[in-house]
C-alpha cells in the first residue's frame, strides 16, 4: 500500500491496524482518506482506527471525560468531506469503526481476516481471545483457519462445531432431537463462564444451579 505519509514518525500502519504515536494535524489525517479507500479490502482495521482517531480528535463531543488533549475543532462539513473521500459507503465505514473499537489491537490476529474479528466483536475480550485462537489453530482441521460461517455457528453453540454440523441449515427442524437443546445449554454455560459466574458464585448459588441441572444428569444416567 502506497501512502505519502507512510514514513511519518507520527503513526504506524500494519495488518492489524493504525497506531498513532503523536497527534496528527487535520491536514495530515485527511490526506490519508483517498489512499485508505483504495486499500479498503486489506486495511479494514486501519480505516476503523483512522475513523476512531478522527472522531475523537476532530469530531463533535470528542474526548469528553477521557482526560486526553483535545485537538482543534474542525467544521462538520470539512470532517464529512474527508470521510467521503474514502469512496466507501456509510454502512461500511460504520462496520470498520465498530469492529476496530470493539476488538483492541492487542487481541487482533494477523493470521485471520477482518471478517473473523467482526464475528467475535460482540464478545467480551476474553471471549474474543479464546475464539480467535480456536479459529487460528482449527483443532482437527486442514491447517487453514476456521471459516467465518463455522466460527459464527460455533460461538452460538458454545463449542467448535464439526463441518457436517455446520452444513445443517440453522432453520432445519427435521426430526426433533436433543442436539439443538444441548448446543443451547453449552452456549449458555460458555457465556456464564466467560462472565466469571463460576468464580464469583456463592456456595448457595452453586447448590441451586446443581439442583436445576439434576434433570439433565437423570437423563444421562438413564442411557
What are the tens digits of pLDDT across the range 67-102?
445 455 677 888 888 888 888 888 999 999 999 999
Q: pTM score, two decimals?
A: 0.63
Domain map (residue ranges) of the chain: 11-102, 114-222
- pLDDT by residue (tens digit) across 153-185? 999 888 888 887 877 665 554 555 676 777 778
* Tens of pLDDT, residues 18-55: 888 888 889 889 888 877 766 665 688 989 999 999 98
Q: Which residue has the cell 466467560?
A: 194
Helices (H), 69-176: 76-84, 90-102, 114-120, 125-137, 148-157, 163-166
Amino acid at each position: 500500500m502506497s501512502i505519502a505519509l507512510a514514513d511519518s514518525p507520527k503513526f504506524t500502519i500494519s495488518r492489524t491496524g493504525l497506531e498513532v504515536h503523536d497527534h496528527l494535524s487535520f491536514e495530515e489525517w485527511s490526506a490519508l482518506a483517498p489512499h485508505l479507500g483504495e486499500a479498503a479490502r486489506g486495511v479494514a482495521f486501519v480505516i476503523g482506527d483512522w475513523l476512531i482517531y478522527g472522531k475523537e480528535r476532530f469530531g463533535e463531543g470528542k474526548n469528553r471525560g477521557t482526560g486526553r488533549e483535545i485537538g482543534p475543532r474542525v467544521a462538520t462539513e470539512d470532517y464529512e468531506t474527508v470521510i467521503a473521500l474514502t469512496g466507501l459507503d456509510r454502512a461500511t465505514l460504520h462496520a470498520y469503526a465498530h469492529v476496530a473499537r470493539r476488538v483492541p489491537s492487542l487481541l487482533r490476529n494477523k493470521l485471520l481476516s477482518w471478517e473473523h474479528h467482526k464475528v467475535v466483536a460482540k464478545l467480551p475480550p476474553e471471549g474474543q481471545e479464546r475464539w480467535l485462537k480456536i479459529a487460528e489453530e482449527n483443532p482437527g482441521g486442514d491447517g487453514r483457519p476456521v471459516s467465518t460461517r463455522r466460527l459464527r455457528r460455533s460461538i452460538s453453540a458454545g463449542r467448535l462445531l464439526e463441518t457436517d454440523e455446520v452444513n445443517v441449515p440453522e432453520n432445519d427442524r427435521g426430526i426433533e432431537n436433543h442436539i439443538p437443546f444441548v448446543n443451547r445449554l453449552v452456549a449458555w454455560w460458555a457465556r456464564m463462564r466467560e462472565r466469571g459466574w463460576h468464580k464469583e458464585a456463592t456456595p448457595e448459588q452453586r447448590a441451586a444451579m446443581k439442583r436445576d441441572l439434576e434433570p439433565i444428569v437423570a437423563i444421562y444416567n438413564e442411557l
